[in-house]
Amino acid sequence: MSNSIVLKKGLDIPIKGAAALKTTKKILPDVVAIKPDDFKGFLPRVLVKEGDRVLAGSPVLSDKRLPDILVCSPVSGTVQEVARGDKRKLLAVLVKADEKQESVDLGAKDIEGLSPEQVRDTILASGLWPSIIQRPYGIVADPALRPKAIFVSAFDTAPLAPDTDYVLGSRIQDIQAGVQALSKLTDGGVHIGLDSATEASTPFHKIEGAAIHTFTGKHPAGNVGVQISHISPIAKGETVWTVSPLLLAAIGHVFATGKVDLSRKVAVTGPRAIEPAYVDAFPGMPVKALEGFYDNAAGDIRFVSGDVLTGKNVGPDGYLGWFDNQVTLLHEGTEREILGWAKIFRPKVFSSSKAFFSWLCPRKKYDMDTNLHGGKRAFVLSDQAYSKVLPMDIFPLYLVKACLAGNIEDMEKYGIYEVLPEDLALCEYADPSKNDIQAIIEDGIDLMLKEMA
């Protein structure tokens, strides 16, 4: 029996460019990038050098503080470059992919007969441990800890998000194996969040050995952080782990076959995408591999790895993130609008606050760009602008201001342990003062890690 939760707050952003449920291309990229910045709290040590041969699943990075935590190559090939930036900061390990892929064979495992320590060691050896995220703070999980529970959101409500059932419907056996394995690492079990609208049809309802929770509501109902806040809020001193269904399937595949498979269906979306659809690809693929989906002759496209609210602007020479299975293509909004906000009628602009008449056309999709439609101004708004889009029992405005002030006591009081920047992405979108809310929360979390470690 599932636990049904109805969320009354939130906002669905009606942007054009949803991917059609079809896969139009299989991409084996020429070069794949493994980027340590994808893993918060991971201090990288390079395990390979240029010219080394690697297989899919071969370790390429380790954590300097916890050497057992490895990051693997998603493809087989040859290390082309160890790219570094200012002060020799490691930016990426670039692997030139083989035409025919080979994988490290760790041997299939009977999960039922494994101890928690053996399960942990198998995930560590596969290089997939950094796929498990620890809350508070959203860092790579500490293998020495035993969390109070593990959470998975099996649906995504972000703008133009990939359809989880389409992407992973054929990998339910891998996901079942992943749930069985991870359930041995916690006393609180594995909790899976489902969309109440598709609960009966989704293959995820077949998963056994997990607590099922259904959610009804607008975005961010699909955010695992929002789900945790309604299932088992995180108090000071408590630890929970989360894992995306995409990487849960990869973990389960290791136990079922002994091999690392990080291939995924990637949704190519956004107003500037030509015939948005899915492609078969790998994490770390260059966005240039999607050239048939866009025309950037004018150089006016923003390439986002992820969704428009929480994704990263990677540029035309960037790469798909480790955790991402979506690329969003947007027009760079550099044009100035005559009269701007003073116009009475703006049919091409969506307003979350009913400032314009977009609320009269609830089904209309908008050709949105990156224009802020205004500049930064004094941070004096009431909490209402944030609270109406955030279905969590915290005080978002006071939390943001506490982070700005660096007041750890107030940050604890107002909910820093329960949130990651992605949870307040809608607050940033709805903020009339144009504050970088996610960056502010990120800075607050960094301060907590520094002072409370």
Identity of residue 386: Y
Token pair 């990869």: residue: 250
Percentage of the chain modeled with pLDDT above 90: 85
Beta bridge partners of 82: 93
Mean pLDDT of 82-108: 95
Count CA atoms closer than 13 A to 231's CA, side-chain side: 29
Residue 363's pLDDT is 82
3-state secondary structure of 236: coil
Q: Are 300 and 270 contacting, i.e. CB atoms less than 8 angstroms apart? A: no
Task: With a cut of 50, say whether residue 385 has pLDDT above it.
Answer: yes
Strands 133-135 and 240-242, by their bridges, are: antiparallel
Q: In this predicted model, what pLDDT tens digit does every residue of 173-194 receive, in sequence order? A: 999 999 999 999 999 999 999 9
Q: How buried is residue 300: exposed, middle or buried, by Cβ count under 10 Å (0-12/13-18/19+)? A: middle
For residues 298-315, average pLDDT: 96
Phi, psi of 87 (to 5 degrees): 55, 30
Taking a C-beta distance cutoff of 8 angstroms, is the pair 289, 318 a contact? no
Is the torsion defined by CA of 295, 95, 89, 416 positive or negative?
A: positive
Average pLDDT over residues 212-231: 97
- Rounded to a whole number of angstroms, the CA Rg of the chain reads 22
The domain locations on the chain are: 1-26+108-347, 384-452
Helix (H, G, I), strand (E, B) or coil at 106: coil
Other CB atoms within 10 Å distance of the CB of residue 165:
18
Q: Give the model's pLDDT for residue 269.
A: 98
The two three-digit tokens of residue 198, written as one number: 């598709």
**Side chain identity at 170, as an amino acid letter?**
S
* Among 248, 250, 231, residue whose Cα is nearest residue 148: 231
State pLDDT tens for residues 14-58.
999 999 999 999 999 999 999 999 999 999 999 999 999 999 999
Is 222 within 8 Å of 158 (Cβ atoms)? Answer: yes
| Average pLDDT, rounded, for the chain | 93
Please tell me the distance from the alpha carbon of residue 66 to that of residue 134, in angstroms, as a whole number: 15
Average pLDDT over residues 114-120: 98
Q: Could you give the CA distance from residue 453 to residue 451 in angstroms, rounded to a whole number?
A: 6
Instruction: Using pLDDT thresholds of 50, 70 and 90, give the confidence band for residue 267.
Output: very high
Nearest to 192 by CA among 453, 5, 380, 439: 5
- Answer whether residue 240 shows pLDDT above 70: yes
Peptide bond into 233 cis (omega under 30): no
Looking at the chain, the whole-number percentage of residues with pLDDT higher than 70 is 95
* Residue 303 parent element (H or E): strand 301-305
Burial of 408 (0-12, 13-18, 19+ CB in 10 A): middle
Distances (CA, A) of 43 to 28, 130, 131, 328: 29, 11, 15, 29
pLDDT value of position 434? 86
pLDDT, tens digit, 9 for 90 and up, residues 324-360: 999 999 999 877 777 666 666 677 778 777 767 766 6
CA–CA gap between residue 156 and residue 63 (Å, rounded) = 30
Instruction: Render pLDDT for 317-326 as a digit per residue (tens, 0 to 9).
Output: 999 999 999 9
By C-alpha distance, which of 452, 320, 268, 371 is closest to 34?
Answer: 320
Q: What is the reported pLDDT for 340?
A: 64
Q: Answer whether residue 238 shows pLDDT above 80.
A: yes
Task: Choose the weakest-confidence range: 190-199, 251-260, 356-365.
Answer: 356-365
Write down the residue that tokens 């760790």 correspond to.
Answer: 106
Answer yes or no: is pLDDT of 1 > 60. no
Q: Could you say which DSSP state residue 372 is in?
A: -
